[in-house]
Amino acid sequence: MLGSGLISKPTYNIGLLKYSGGGDWYANLETSLPNLIAFCNTNLKTNIGEQETVEVGSPEIFNFPFVHMTGHGNVIFATEDSENLRSYLIAGGFLHISDNYGMDKFIRPEMKKVFPELDFVELPFSHPIYHQKYNFPKGLPKIHEHDEKAPQGFGLIYEGRLVCFYDVECDLGDGWEDEAVHNDSKEARASALKMGANIIQFAFLGEGNN
């Protein structure tokens, strides 16, 4: 048992995925995941340390229970990248992809390399990922307008388990940034952080993970 006043060592870090192709994997590098980590540690009582950059083809990816991916542009997975990411996800890892606008047409064929047998399916609003610590009865919050389309949450489901959650027309990762970065409202940022916390809770604790 820890003595009074001692803080336990963080249980795990979370990964920020670095990929090839020229897309800006580092788009939200400075404040996005750090703010989400702080929010989860306060409100979910998690014990997450920090974000660490991890390359998609690196064996180091297996050190992270949760990996986040974002960007605006091109994504290329080499064969060894696809195989490594597939092994990671099958082994119990979780990938969250947040389209920062312009990523969709690139990431879909690359994830098809990872799971040729699977297609992204839109998750219904009743899915447990929307009903963890925080309740989102209408699905993802809308953080940035872009094409003025409704936000959508897609998933890759392998042998009954959601291994990848993909938000489109939402910009969830931007919503985790410091207020000064995008001048998003306090309400929008709060919604983004709460939805991010739901994804973390779902991935880490396996609550309703089906």
User: What six digits make up the tokens of 170?
Assistant: 């939402």
Sites in the chain below the pLDDT cut of 70? 1-9, 28-29, 144-147, 179-184, 206-210
Residue 175 forms part of a structural domain: yes
Long-range contacts of the stretch 77-85 (C-beta < 8 A, 24+)? 77/19, 77/20, 77/110, 77/113, 77/114, 78/20, 79/113, 81/19, 81/20, 81/56, 81/57, 82/110, 82/113, 82/114, 84/56, 84/57, 84/58, 84/59, 85/56, 85/57, 85/61, 85/114
Return d(Cα 12, Cα 64) in angstroms, integer: 7
Residue 210 forms part of a structural domain: no
Helix axes 186-205, 32-43, angle to 10 degrees: 70
Number of domains comprising the chain: 1
DSSP 29: T
Residue 4 forms part of a structural domain: no
Q: In terms of residue numbers, what domain contains 67?
A: 12-205
User: For residue 197, what pLDDT is reported?
Assistant: 96
Residue 112 forms part of a structural domain: yes
CATH number (domain holding residue 117): 3.40.50.12140
Residue 177 forms part of a structural domain: yes
Return d(Cα 87, Cα 107) in angstroms, integer: 18
Q: Is 28 helix (H, G, I), strand (E, B) or coil?
A: coil
Question: Are the C-beta atoms of residues 20 and 76 closer than 8 Å to each other?
Answer: yes
Residue 71 forms part of a structural domain: yes
Helix%, strand%, coil% for the chain, nearest 5:
35, 25, 45
Residue 6 forms part of a structural domain: no
User: For residue 5, what pLDDT is reported?
Assistant: 36
Helix axes 104-114, 79-90, angle to 10 degrees: 70
Residue 7 forms part of a structural domain: no
Count of beta carbons in the 10 Å neighbourhood of residue 201? 22
User: For residue 147, what pLDDT is reported?
Assistant: 67
Do strands 66-71 and 94-99 pair parallel, antiparallel, or not at all (unpaired)?
parallel
